Amino acid sequence: MHSLRKTPLNRVHHDLKARMGDFAGWELPIWFTSILEEHKAVRSWAGMFDVSDMGRIWVSGKKAGQFLDKVLTRSVRRLEIGSSQLCLLCLEDGGILDDLWVYHVGVDEYLLVWNAGHTERKLGWLFRWSESDPDVTFRNATDDTAMVAVQGSAVCQLGSMRTLCNLPRFGHTRGKIDRFEVLVARTGYTGEDGFEFISSTGDVSPLWAILMNEGVKPCGLGARDVLRLEAGMLLSGQDMDASTNPFEAGLAWLVEFDTRDFVGKTSLLEIRRQGIRRKLIGFKMKGREIARSGYPIFNSGQKVGGVTSGGYSPAVGIGIGLGYVPVELAIIGNEIEILIRDKLVSAQIVNRKFYKKGGAE
């Protein structure tokens, strides 16, 4: 068996007897006690996730902003210092290499936070487009930092987080949790309020312990996947990849066609002009079966697409999912069928925001 990369919290997870698994080459907790309990903790109080597997890349230098404007689908020109935004890294043909957060940390200083997969390819992509310009420098801080997401409706009731609660949504700052220095952002991937902080590798275990003492429940990837799916958030590499474009994936809002030129712009304009053929939909099962990633979608006896994410939703109380179907079928209220092993099972196309703060849709 190949050896998995370990985060600075690996020992802590093992001490807590977490069920560990392989996620994009990293050994991470799938669950600590139960996915349902962890899901409930985040929806009703607070939970935390080790997200140290996510890549953290500093981009700095006089031309850092100019460079990011060339490779990202949203301009950083109007992104104020202390703010962050979600955007896409697209290939020249408009395919999605990844989605990522850009933090504008200081003058000519940006931080990219991206998904764990395909790191070499993404770094290679950045190097290629920077054309070795001495005014753009990269530093991969993934290995010498740790990252934790603290998420939940009650995060602002936590003593350690209280001073951070004046941060606006998507805002970030260098601050302190207890006595430890962190870079913290009001972002997340669960559909709840929350923070994601980056600390030194040495500080993260005591920080984790402090949060646990405040009643924040350690949560694994299983709960994270359910929470993001309920919130209608896409998982890169699963719901979108190099073979999907932002329009099909319902991510047109992450593409800004302003006056600047950026990688993929020509293709994306052409795709927009021609129109898309398939579209990402949200669906809700009619019965109690559960559709999962890879199951085929049928309409009138014909295979028309596939499920990209699917699972049981505790908030909805039934199976939900995301998948691609031809654009003419992608209408809310339409019925589709999903092949679950050897049975065709009915599902209904619904808004993919299955859950909104304060209760299920």
Partner 1 sequence: MNPKGYKYTREHEWICLEPGNTGKTGLTKYAETQLGDIVFLDLPAPGTEVEQFKKMGEIESVKAVSDFFSPASGKVVEINAKAVDEPKLVNEDPYGVGWLVRLELSKPSELDALMTSEVYDKYVDSLSHES
Q: Which is nearer to partner 1, 272 or 292 (CB)?
A: 292
Shortest CB 127 distance to partner 1, Å: 37
Kindly tell me which residue out of 168, 259, 341, 359 binds partner 1, with binding defined by CB under 8 A. 341
With contacts defined by CB under 8 A, how many residues of the chain interact with partner 1? 17
Instruction: Give the C-alpha distances (Å, rounded to integers) separating 36 from 145, 222, 229, 232, 256.
Output: 30, 9, 14, 18, 38
Residue with tokens 């998995």: 4
Contact 326, 306 (CB under 8 A): no
Collapsed DSSP state (helix, strand, coil) of residue 61:
coil
Pick the stretch among 178-186, 246-254, 288-296, 331-339 that binds partner 1 (CB under 8 A). Answer: 288-296
Distance from C-alpha of 21 to C-alpha of 4, rounded to nearest angstrom: 9
Contacts of 323 (CB under 8 A, 6+ apart): 280, 281, 283, 291, 297, 305, 306, 307, 308, 309, 310
- The single residue among 290, 315, 330, 349 that binds partner 1, judged by CB under 8 A, is 290
What angle (nearest 5°) sits at the alpha carbon of residue 127, between those of residues 267 and 136? Answer: 105
211 near partner 1 (CB under 8 A)? no
Write out the binding residues for partner 1, residues 26-85 only, by CB under 8 A. 30-31, 34-36
Q: Which residues contact 358 (CB under 8 A, 6 or more apart)?
A: none
Choice from 28, 48, 226, 320 touching partner 1 (CB under 8 A): 226
4 near partner 1, judged by CB under 8 A: no
What is the phi/psi pair of residue 318, to 5°? -155, 170
CB contact set of 282 (below 8 Å; sequence gap of 6+): 232, 320, 321, 322, 349, 350, 351, 352, 353, 354
Per DSSP, 295 falls in state: -
Nearest approach in angstroms of CB 79 to partner 1 is: 37
Cβ 145 to partner 1, closest distance in Å? Answer: 29
Among 11, 14, 128, 288, binds partner 1 (CB under 8 A): 288
Choose between 51 and 340: whose C-beta lies nearer to partner 1. Answer: 340
* 346 binds partner 1 per the rule CB under 8 A: no
By the rule CB under 8 A, 123 interacts with partner 1: no
Task: Report the nearest approach of partner 1 to the CB of residue 38 (Å).
Answer: 10
* Residues lying near partner 1 in the complex (CB under 8 A): 1, 19, 30-31, 34-36, 222, 226, 288-290, 292, 311-312, 319, 341
